[in-house]
Amino acid sequence: MVRYLRLLGVQLRASALLSLQYRYEFLIDGPIEFFWAITMVVPLLIVFQGRTSVAGWTLGEALVVSGWFILLQGVLEGAINPSLTSVVEHIRKGTLDFILLKPADAQFLVSTAKFEPWRAINVFTGIGVFIYAFHLLGHPPSPLGLISSMVLLVTASMLLYSLWILTVSAAFYVVKVDNLTYLFSSIFDAARWPSSVFRGVLRFVFTFVIPLALMTTYPAQAMLGKLTAQTLLFAVVGSVLFSLLARLIWLRSIGKYTSASS
């Protein structure tokens, strides 16, 4: 365990050094990120034009969901996407061999290969949106709500990561999947809306199959103090089970790996 923590430290340091090399990127990323946040809020304002609530959500409450979306996008693009995009490349070229030969768990190594610290801007943008949202609501979140939403932040990141691992596992079977990243982020885009606006099949899919509801809507509800303890428990247990499943599938599919070229 200590060894893995040390390893994580090494990988993080390498990523940090790498990103310091591209300092100016921060200057570009900052404004772009801010801009994205605004474009994300515009559709919301249009939806709420002339009405106070949609599917039981007021503008302020829906903004909290958007805040969580922005925050998790930061997690996805800063900590999950960069590493796992490179695994797909490794699988296609056959260079995964070098990673498998190293005396540490392969999943750990590939998942921590690369971080993009600059994406932390998203966290601040997300917090900015939260502040604005609670300003609109007129009351600050309760301490209990904040704590449970932090718990859900952890489970949401686990879910995102597990979904990614499942996507990467697919790369062992269908080799050319570089664009799965795009598919993934375009599906994740639906998470910016409170899940209760979706009905029927879509709602089922977004809660149980691709658990977007657990990623943004539940944490937002927790922050607003509207989440029941039962749902919280369901979210935690569900996420843990989902992660275990993803791990099992990863182990199975890496068994299918036959190196490409030589």
Partner 1 sequence: MSVRNTIRALPALFRVGVFEAVAYRAEFFVWVLSTTMPLIMMALWTAVASDAPVGRYGQPEFVAYFLCTFIVRQLTGAWVAYEMNFEIRQGALAMRLLRPVQPLWTYAVENLAALPMRLVVALPVAVSLLLISGTSRLSKDPKIWLIWCAAMVGGWLITFLANLVIGCLAFYMESSLKLMDVWLAVFFVFSGYLYPLELFPSGLRAVADWLPFRYQIGFPVELMTGAHGVPTALSMLLSQWLYVALMLAIVSLVWRRGLKRFAAYGG
Residues that bind partner 1 (CB under 8 A): 28-29, 32, 35-36, 39, 42-43, 46-47, 49-51, 54-55, 174, 176-177, 179-180, 182-183, 186-187, 189-190, 193, 197-199, 202
Residue in this structure with the two tokens 């829906």, named with its chain if needed: 62
Distance (Å, whole) CA 198 – CA 35: 27
Distance (Å, whole) CA 55 – CA 211: 19
Residue in this structure with the two tokens 């699988």, named with its chain if needed: 91
- Pick between residue 90 and residue 192 the one whose CB is nearest to partner 1: 192
- Pick between residue 109 and residue 190 the one whose CB is nearest to partner 1: 190
Q: Least CB distance from residue 137 to partner 1, whole Å?
A: 20
Distance (Å, whole) CA 87 – CA 99: 10
- Pick between residue 86 and residue 243 the one whose CB is nearest to partner 1: 86
Q: Least CB distance from residue 175 to partner 1, whole Å?
A: 10
Which residues, 6 or more positions from 169, have their beta carbon under 8 angstroms from its beta carbon?
246, 249, 250, 252, 253, 254
Q: Are 188 and 214 in contact (CB under 8 A)?
A: no
Q: Least CB distance from residue 142 to partner 1, whole Å?
A: 28
- Pick between residue 158 and residue 190 the one whose CB is nearest to partner 1: 190
Q: Least CB distance from residue 182 to partner 1, whole Å?
A: 5
